[in-house]
């Protein structure tokens, strides 16, 4: 016998172990391949609710496809997360009073690997708790040997194809982490700053001054020009002359450039080509000098007057403003709201800085990636994300892929004595190439930088399948079928996988991309550690069970809206698990055991024919929802059937049939067991633990659910229109009786029931209502043998048998309920029209005939309402 309640903890541990030993994640069978690439979580990560959502959705689909007998591969793994991981270990060192610089590069990397071995796998274990079922035996890490090999090959090929190159240009420099970062890793943070208006003297024009506005006075030391708009009448004549930068005694050419907007500031703008992306372009156009004034810490370097050298950037600002003040050239200072570029990892303000870095020619790689979505080889769900994707790819900038870190894939480039670059997969090959180039052996120095983490993740869909080897997995599982991820990494990851996949595999990496919502906190804020508003899925699992969490996340996943997770919701769905558990318990107590070879098409009783038909419809609905990635629809569909149809109606209808015994009971037992089984199967993708446990306990099927069952598919054949009509009628009838609570009905019916019963246990009048409900069910169940005609029905309730002329009462109940409803609707309409006619705006703006029409409608409704009232009175 099953326990009285479902105990998730015990079940989850046990079933997890069963699944692991059965290796349910391994691709099995000869079905069509179905492949899903797990977005590799950072090794530094710990399970947050976003992972929980992401992996639940994938697991739902993957389990569903396995039940459909596809050959499913769900490829798991973790990402080495360059900066994040290095930061963790550096923080550990800092706690010991050391820094990365106290170690050699190799020692430091050794230390990170050690950290990974000890605590890098936490997230994988946590995913286990959720019941996720990827093929753990194929788990990969972006820095493991095979994937690193793929990274080197890709880098070398792209370099030789001219799609990777080294360039000196402005990068986003993080002065705290001492590395370049890509545009995507820069966040614009709002900042309340000041705008300083400064007067510049003009060389040879003692009477003129030029006012220039800036938010960053400290960069003045690197100014090499002032730009004005060539169309700007105020300054046109100054073009070609020079402004005087008094601080350093430098002459700044005044150039005419479109970049200067006459509407903004004073219309004249200072040009600092080495520290501003726009100014850099201006300098290119006008051949201006570039003066770099910062070192890697964003402290002033030797290119500035000695008194400023070594100053931190904000200290320098103060010092410079003080001097300007003294010079009396500050025209005015305005408060100024703007945004500051901020490093997403370090949180410090990013400095545009002139360095040599490696770049990917993203614009070229983007073209096929755009085309593939345009022609539908890859589809986004929901489709509106395609717009975001296109927008970004069509305006894509070169991708800066080098990072001045130690943890990551070291760039396979070597420099000769004269700085000639040799890009090869190994040092040996580089040396050979150098020998060929120079004609003799030379010493090479390897590039110190590592690659952006996203470079290796971009290869994930084929590198994990064994590329560059032509493995059977690669042939069979690429392109993959589905990628499930959230919108915030469409650019970081999805777009780049598209580019790399198309370039190296000549096909899209995935046919569908499902973009799910972000899980937010109760205020709709993105959850983050710094805000301290994180809901820990492990705590939820502990409290309500993994199934309840999974079901909640699935039920809340509708398109186009973020998820605000509440614990109450999880609690509600935990109750659903309990409900189902108890339904199973009921089946067990009533000896409703699965009958081998049971044919749902063969049942005879109307109630059973109805139930199997409803189940078939539900199965179709759920499958359709899952096929189209409408997760909430799938979850709620099965919920509704299991609780609303099966528990609330079917089990109640059939209680008397079971009690009566005979052939009807035999058929009903078999049907009940079968229905419960089908519910378990339909629910399995969302609630794997509960369903697996019940499946195991309710029958001996010789193995776990995925191995020994199939997804229920019945088509329309099981739907018996006559049975459906009959039982639906009963359901409506009973509902109508229930909802008719007027004294007349209760008092009209109850005495009839009680006349011959005299049951001493019924004491209070309020009991009557419960009795009616019960009776109605007994009645209908008994009536199932013969078509309910609305005539006198036999009522059996325990030992008491009452014959009563229910028909009149029932008809009355139904009719009055209908009329009441109709009346309510009509009165609502009248109200609505009255409000409309009372609305000044409407009366003022609507044409005469529209108003007349409304008046007419009102009269019609009023007349109809009167009729209904009359009918109700007659009934009474």
Partner RNA sequence: GGGCGCGUAGCUCAGCGGGAGAGCACUUCCUUGACAUGGAAGGGGUCACAGGUUCAAUCCCUGUCGCGCCCACCA
Looking at residues 275 to 304 of the shown chain, list those that interact with RNA (rule: CB under 7 A). 277-278
Q: Does 157 interact with RNA (rule: CB under 7 A)?
A: no
* Count of beta carbons in the 10 Å neighbourhood of residue 852: 11
- What is the C-alpha separation between 132 and 52, in angstroms, rounded? 9
Is the distance from CB of 165 to CB of 359 less than 8 angstroms? yes
Q: Does 566 interact with RNA (rule: CB under 7 A)?
A: yes
Q: In whole angstroms, how close is the CB of 136 to RNA at the nearest point? A: 31
Q: In whole angstroms, how close is the CB of 198 to RNA at the nearest point? A: 9
Q: Which of residues 615-634 bind RNA (CB under 7 A)?
A: 630, 632-633
How buried is 375 (Cβ within 10 angstroms: 0-12 exposed, 13-18 middle, 19+ buried)?
A: exposed
User: Contact letters (x/-) for RNA, 239-258, by CB under 7 A?
Assistant: --------------------
Q: Which of residues 783-802 bind RNA (CB under 7 A)?
A: 798
How buried is 171 (Cβ within 10 angstroms: 0-12 exposed, 13-18 middle, 19+ buried)?
A: buried
Q: Does 560 interact with RNA (rule: CB under 7 A)?
A: yes
Angle between helices 567-589 and 662-683 (to 10 degrees): 150
Nearest residue (CB) to RNA, 159 versus 173: 173
- What is the C-alpha separation between 116 and 604, in angstroms, rounded? 63
* Chain mean position to CA 200: 53
Nearest residue (CB) to RNA, 560 versus 791: 560
One of 208, 259, 367, 593 touching RNA (CB under 7 A): 259
Structure tokens at 560: 């186009």
Site stretch for RNA (CB under 7 A), options 43-51, 145-153, 389-397, 745-753: 389-397
Q: Does 121 interact with RNA (rule: CB under 7 A)?
A: no
Structure tokens at 313: 């950037």
Q: In whole angstroms, how close is the CB of 41 to RNA at the nearest point? A: 20
Q: Which of residues 807-866 bind RNA (CB under 7 A)?
A: 821, 825, 832, 835-836, 839, 841-842, 845-847, 850
- What is the C-alpha separation between 111 and 469, in angstroms, rounded? 31
Is the distance from CB of 519 to CB of 57 less than 8 angstroms? no
Q: Tell me if residue 15 falls in helix, strand or coil.
A: helix
User: Contact letters (x/-) for RNA, 491-530, by CB under 7 A?
Assistant: x----------------------------x-x-xxx----
Nearest residue (CB) to RNA, 137 versus 841: 841
One of 176, 345, 446, 774 touching RNA (CB under 7 A): 774
Is the distance from CB of 54 to CB of 485 less than 8 angstroms? yes
Structure tokens at 866: 């009167």
Q: Does 558 interact with RNA (rule: CB under 7 A)?
A: yes
Q: Does 536 interact with RNA (rule: CB under 7 A)?
A: no
Task: Name, in order, each residue with C-beta under 8 angstroms of 161's C-beta and a sequence gap of 6 or more.
Answer: none
One of 103, 115, 643, 714 touching RNA (CB under 7 A): 643
Is the distance from CB of 583 to CB of 646 less than 8 angstroms? yes
Nearest residue (CB) to RNA, 529 versus 764: 764
Phi, psi of 32, rounded to the nearest 5 degrees: -65, 140
Q: In whole angstroms, how close is the CB of 189 to RNA at the nearest point? A: 11
Secondary structure string (H, E, C) spanning 622-656: HHHHHHCCCHHHHHHHHHHHHHHHHHHHHHHHHHH
Is the distance from CB of 42 to CB of 84 less than 8 angstroms? yes
DSSP conformation class of 378:
S
Q: In whole angstroms, how close is the CB of 167 to RNA at the nearest point? A: 17
* Chain mean position to CA 343: 24
Half-sphere exposure (Cβ direction) of 80: Cα atoms closer than 13 Å? 29
One of 69, 157, 377, 769 touching RNA (CB under 7 A): 769
One of 68, 564, 593, 867 touching RNA (CB under 7 A): 564
- What is the C-alpha separation between 634 and 15, in angstroms, rounded? 24
Q: Does 767 interact with RNA (rule: CB under 7 A)?
A: yes
Q: Which of residues 162-191 bind RNA (CB under 7 A)?
A: 183-184, 187-188
Task: Name, in order, each residue with C-beta under 8 angstroms of 312's C-beta and a sequence gap of 6 or more.
Answer: 297, 298, 299
Q: In whole angstroms, how close is the CB of 220 to RNA at the nearest point? A: 10
One of 99, 104, 264, 747 touching RNA (CB under 7 A): 264
- What is the C-alpha separation between 74 and 33, in angstroms, rounded? 11
* Chain mean position to CA 475: 29
Nearest residue (CB) to RNA, 67 versus 584: 584
Q: In whole angstroms, how close is the CB of 52 to RNA at the nearest point? A: 16
* Longest Cα separation, the chain: 120
Q: Does 216 interact with RNA (rule: CB under 7 A)?
A: yes
Cα-based distances in Å from 96 to 89, 99, 105, 109, 376: 11, 9, 18, 17, 54
One of 741, 755, 818, 855 touching RNA (CB under 7 A): 741
Is the distance from CB of 218 to CB of 263 less than 8 angstroms? no
Q: Does 585 interact with RNA (rule: CB under 7 A)?
A: yes
Q: Does 556 interact with RNA (rule: CB under 7 A)?
A: yes
Nearest residue (CB) to RNA, 756 versus 767: 767
Classify strands 413-415 and 445-446 as parallel, antiparallel or unpaired: antiparallel
* Count of beta carbons in the 10 Å neighbourhood of residue 539: 11
By CB under 7 A, the count of residues binding RNA is 102
Task: Give, rounded to a whole angstrom, the gap between the first and last alpha carbons of the chain.
Answer: 52
Q: Which of residues 479-498 bind RNA (CB under 7 A)?
A: 488, 491
Q: Does 742 interact with RNA (rule: CB under 7 A)?
A: no
Q: In whole angstroms, how close is the CB of 199 to RNA at the nearest point? A: 14
Phi, psi of 508, rounded to the nearest 5 degrees: -65, 150
One of 332, 387, 531, 697 touching RNA (CB under 7 A): 387
Which of 750, 867, 747 lies closest to 819 in space, CA to CA? 867
One of 123, 245, 444, 563 touching RNA (CB under 7 A): 563
- What is the C-alpha separation between 392 and 433, in angstroms, rounded? 38
Would you report the helix, strand and coil content of the chain in percent, each value rounded to 5?
A: 50, 15, 30
Q: In whole angstroms, how close is the CB of 552 to RNA at the nearest point? A: 9
Query: Which helix or strand (DSSP H or E) is residue 141 part of?
Result: strand 140-141
Q: In whole angstroms, how close is the CB of 621 to RNA at the nearest point? A: 12
One of 572, 620, 785, 790 touching RNA (CB under 7 A): 572
Q: Does 651 interact with RNA (rule: CB under 7 A)?
A: yes
Nearest residue (CB) to RNA, 141 versus 576: 576
Q: Does 721 interact with RNA (rule: CB under 7 A)?
A: no
Nearest residue (CB) to RNA, 149 versus 562: 562
Q: Does 589 interact with RNA (rule: CB under 7 A)?
A: yes
Nearest residue (CB) to RNA, 93 versus 731: 731
Q: In whole angstroms, how close is the CB of 793 to RNA at the nearest point? A: 18
Q: Which of residues 306-365 bind RNA (CB under 7 A)?
A: 336, 338-339
One of 42, 46, 215, 486 touching RNA (CB under 7 A): 215
Q: Does 261 interact with RNA (rule: CB under 7 A)?
A: yes
Q: In whole angstroms, how close is the CB of 599 to RNA at the nearest point? A: 25
One of 46, 297, 388, 709 touching RNA (CB under 7 A): 388
Nearest residue (CB) to RNA, 413 versus 737: 737
One of 161, 628, 735, 747 touching RNA (CB under 7 A): 735
Q: Does 729 interact with RNA (rule: CB under 7 A)?
A: no
């Amino acid at each position: 016998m099953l326990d009285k309640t479902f105990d998730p903890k015990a079940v989850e541990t046990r079933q997890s172990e069963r699944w692991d030993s059965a290796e349910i994640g391994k691709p099995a069978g000869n079905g069509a391949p179905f492949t899903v690439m797990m977005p590799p979580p950072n090794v530094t990560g710990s399970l947050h609710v976003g992972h929980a959502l992401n992996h639940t959705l994938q697991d739902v689909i993957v389990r569903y496809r396995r039940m459909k007998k596809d050959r499913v591969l769900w490829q798991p793994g973790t990402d080495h997360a360059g900066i994040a991981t290095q930061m963790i270990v550096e923080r550990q060192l800092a706690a010991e009073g050391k820094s990365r610089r106290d170690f050699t590069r190799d020692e430091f990397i050794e230390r990170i690997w050690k950290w990974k071995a000890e605590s890098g796998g936490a997230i994988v274990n946590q995913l286990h708790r959720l019941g996720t079922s990827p093929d753990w035996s194929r788990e990969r890490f972006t820095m493991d040997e095979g994937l690193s090999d793929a990274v080197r090959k890709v880098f070398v090929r792209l370099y030789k194809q001219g799609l990777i190159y080294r360039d000196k240009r402005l990068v986003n420099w993080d002065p705290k982490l001492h590395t370049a970062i890509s545009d995507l890793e820069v966040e614009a943070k709002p900042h309340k700053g000041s705008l300083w208006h400064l007067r510049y003297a003009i060389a040879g024009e003692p009477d003129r001054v030029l006012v220039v506005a800036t938010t960053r006075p400290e960069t003045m030391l690197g100014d090499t020009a002032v730009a004005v708009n060539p169309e700007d009448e105020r300054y046109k004549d100054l073009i070609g002359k020079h402004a005087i930068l008094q601080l350093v005694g430098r002459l700044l050419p005044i150039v005419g450039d479109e970049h200067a907007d006459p509407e903004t500031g004073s219309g004249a703008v200072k040009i600092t080509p080495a520290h501003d992306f726009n100014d850099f372009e201006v300098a290119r156009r006008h051949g201006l000098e570039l003066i770099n004034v910062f070192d890697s810490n964003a402290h002033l370097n030797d290119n500035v007057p000695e008194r400023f050298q070594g100053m931190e950037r904000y200290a320098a600002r103060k010092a410079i403003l003080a001097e300007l003040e003294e010079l009396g050239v500050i025209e005015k200072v305005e408060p100024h709201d703007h945004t500051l570029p901020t490093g997403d990892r370090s949180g410090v303000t990013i400095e545009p800085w002139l360095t040599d870095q490696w770049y990917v020619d993203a614009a070229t790689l983007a073209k096929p990636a755009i085309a593939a979505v345009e022609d539908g080889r890859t589809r986004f769900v929901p489709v509106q994300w395609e717009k975001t994707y296109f927008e970004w790819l069509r305006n894509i900038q070169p991708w800066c892929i080098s990072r001045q870190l130690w943890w990551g894939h070291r760039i396979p480039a070597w420099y000769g004595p004269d700085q000639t670059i040799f890009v090869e997969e190994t040092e040996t090959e580089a040396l050979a190439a150098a020998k060929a180039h120079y004609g003799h052996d030379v010493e090479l120095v390897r590039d110190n930088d590592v690659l952006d983490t996203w470079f290796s993740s971009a290869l994930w869909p084929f590198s994990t399948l064994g590329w560059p080897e032509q493995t059977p997995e690669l042939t069979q599982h690429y392109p993959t079928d589905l990628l499930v991820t959230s919108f915030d990494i469409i650019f970081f990851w999805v777009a780049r996988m598209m580019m790399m996949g198309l370039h190296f595999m000549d096909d899209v990496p995935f046919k569908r991309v499902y973009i799910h919502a972000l899980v937010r906190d109760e205020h709709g804020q993105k959850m983050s550690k710094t805000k301290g508003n994180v809901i820990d899925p492990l705590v939820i699992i502990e409290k309500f069970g993994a199934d309840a969490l999974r079901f909640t996340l699935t039920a809340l996943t509708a398109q186009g809206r973020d998820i605000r997770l509440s614990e109450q919701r999880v609690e509600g769905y935990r109750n659903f698990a309990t409900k189902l558990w108890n339904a199973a318990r009921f089946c067990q107590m009533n000896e409703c055991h699965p009958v081998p070879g049971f044919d749902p098409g063969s049942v005879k009783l109307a109630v059973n024919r109805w139930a199997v038909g409803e189940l078939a419809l539900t199965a179709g609905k759920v499958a359709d929802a899952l096929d189209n990635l409408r997760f909430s629809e799938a979850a709620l569909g099965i919920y509704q059937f299991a609780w609303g149809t099966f528990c609330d109606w079917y089990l109640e209808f059939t209680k008397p049939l079971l009690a009566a015994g005979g052939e009807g009971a035999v058929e009903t037992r078999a049907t009940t067991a079968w229905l419960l089984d089908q519910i378990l199967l339909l629910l399995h993708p969302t609630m794997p633990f509960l369903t697996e446990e019940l499946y195991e306990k309710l029958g001996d099927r010789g193995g776990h659910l995925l191995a020994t069952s199939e997804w229920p598919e019945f088509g329309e054949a099981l739907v018996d229109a006559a049975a459906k009509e009959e039982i639906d009628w009963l359901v409506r009838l009973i509902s109508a009786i229930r909802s008719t609570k007027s004294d007349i009905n209760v008092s009209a019916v109850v005495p009839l029931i009680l006349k011959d019963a005299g049951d001493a246990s019924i004491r209070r009048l309020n009991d009557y209502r419960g009795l009616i409900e019960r009776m109605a069910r007994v009645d209908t169940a008994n009536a199932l043998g013969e078509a309910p005609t609305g005539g006198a029905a036999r009522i059996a309730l325990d030992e008491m048998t009452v014959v009563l002329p229910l028909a009149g009462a029932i008809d009355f109940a139904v009719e009055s309920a209908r009329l009441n409803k109709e009346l309510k609707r009509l009165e609502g309409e009248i109200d609505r029209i009255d409000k409309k006619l009372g609305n000044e705006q409407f009366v003022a703006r609507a044409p005469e005939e529209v108003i007349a029409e409304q008046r007419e409608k009102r009269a019609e409704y009023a007349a109809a309402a009167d009729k209904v009232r009359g009918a109700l009175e007659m009934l009474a």
